[in-house]
């Protein structure tokens, strides 16, 4: 998930992923997902972009 998002938005920083973006994995076999996307300028990636 992280790698796909960074490929879409290379300008994102470590701080972004600790503040306005939260990637999460609930260890339930369903994998990583975007739990929060509050970036002020970049749009939340679509499922198609992350596929």
Closest listed residue to residue 49, CA positions, set 16, 11, 5:
5
CA angle 35, 41, 42 (to 5 degrees): 55
Q: Work out which of 24, 38, 43, 49 binds another protein, going by CB under 8 A.
A: 24
CB of 38 to another protein, least distance (A): 14
Cα separation, 41 vs 44, whole angstroms: 10
Which x/- pattern, by CB under 8 A, does the window 3-22 give for another protein?
Answer: -----------x--xx---x
Q: Work out which of 10, 11, 27, 48 binds another protein, going by CB under 8 A.
A: 27
């Amino acid at each position: 998930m992280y790698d796909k998002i960074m490929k879409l938005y290379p300008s994102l920083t470590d701080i972004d992923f600790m503040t306005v973006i939260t990637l999460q994995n609930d260890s339930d076999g369903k994998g990583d997902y975007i739990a929060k996307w509050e970036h002020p300028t970049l749009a939340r990636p679509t499922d198609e972009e992350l596929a």
